[in-house]
Amino acid sequence: MDKKSKIFFIVFFLIIIIVILVSFFKYFVYNNYYIKIVANCDPAVESCFIGECYPEEDETCNENPDKRLYYYKIINKNFKNIQPCNFQTQECPELSCKPEETDCEEVFCDENELLEGESCSNLADFVEEETNRR
């Protein structure tokens, strides 16, 4: 191998090692990456996605078909800003975006951007329910 080839391979492998180290520190040391979280949503206030659980897939699912629906929103948040859970007491803080967090996004249901099989809650339905209860 000539001198130019050796220098090329040394530089090449050094660049690969540097990229691996930068990635390791970014993702594992500084936790600088985003995760997508499904969080609870109040359909009377926000436009929520509608999900349904099935008893044959989830044993905690209610047998009553009227109580199988749940409402959710999606939160895209930087992992380093998430409070850790206390696994001894099984308590985790509710995940949400604070107003001062610029690297957090709440995604609500939008009829124009639905994927196949998704549906949105209708705010008007919940407003009518509230007025009928009074």
pLDDT of the residue at 130: 52
**Is the distance from CB of 62 to CB of 68 less than 8 angstroms?**
yes
**Is the distance from CB of 39 to CB of 71 less than 8 angstroms?**
no
**Domain residue spans in the chain?**
1-30, 33-133
Which pLDDT tens digits describe the chain residue by residue (134 residues)? 788 899 999 999 999 999 999 999 888 887 788 889 888 888 888 888 888 888 888 888 877 777 788 888 999 998 888 888 877 777 888 888 888 888 889 988 888 877 777 788 887 776 555 555 55
By C-alpha distance, which of 92, 96, 117 is closest to 107? 96
